[in-house]
Amino acid sequence: MSGRPLIGISTYAESGVRWGVWQLDAALLPAGYPRLVRRAGGLAAMLPPDAPEHAEAVVARLDGLVIAGGPDVEPVRYGAEPDPRTGPPARGRDAWELALIAAALERGVPLLGICRGMQLLNVALGGTLIQHVDGHAEVPGVFGRHPVKPVPGTRYADAVPEETSVPTYHHQAVDRLGTGLIPSAYAEDGTVEAVELPAPAWVLGVQWHPEMGDDLRVMRALINAA
């Protein structure tokens, strides 16, 4: 491969979105995601929700995959009853993104999960989630910041070796790790902030939102792998 790698990014399916004179169903993606991919040296492709059986063909055309942030993963996916504070399910998106993750793992396509994407990666590998934690999304609709400390010797620590402050907005977190995953960063309160699969796979999940900041290192690591 030569030139900029093609990085697919999963999108949000939203109903009744208004622009101009129109109000229609739409596949949306916050502009920070493709902007981050471009700034890190890649080409961005939006992946609207589709039938899970199409995921393998989609991933086969990509050099790398990003599973974006978004709504809570439906608790039935990890064998739990919904907490009252867990948001409404997005079953179509869950099914599509789980299929994308499975295809990327099967084909060895470099994979980065962001926030929900990290949580869904953990669930895809048999892990569970804590359905509510306090202090990581204090003001609705406003990203906060907190420090994240890398675990030495991990792929994440290779990309970002020092403790750094990251943009964060979430109320759920990893509980039991999925098969093969190891923690590669923690918050001060002990929350797992990054997970990864050991080499030779290039699979990383981060709990925060790098697309909302200026640090390109996580995305550049994906681009370099792709």
Domains of the chain, earliest start first: 6-225 (3.40.50.880)
Tokens of 157: 């620590």
Catalytic residue, chosen from 74, 193, 196, 211, is 211
Looking at residue 1, what is its pLDDT?
A: 45
Looking at residue 2, what is its pLDDT?
A: 56
Question: Does residue 132 carry a catalytic annotation?
Answer: no
Q: Are 193 and 208 in contact (CB under 8 A)?
A: yes
Looking at residue 22, what is its pLDDT?
A: 92
pTM listed for this prediction: 0.96
Question: Does residue 136 carry a catalytic annotation?
Answer: no
Strand pairing report for 111-114 and 203-206: parallel
**Average pLDDT of the chain, as a whole number:** 95
Mean pLDDT of 199-207: 96
Question: Does residue 171 carry a catalytic annotation?
Answer: no
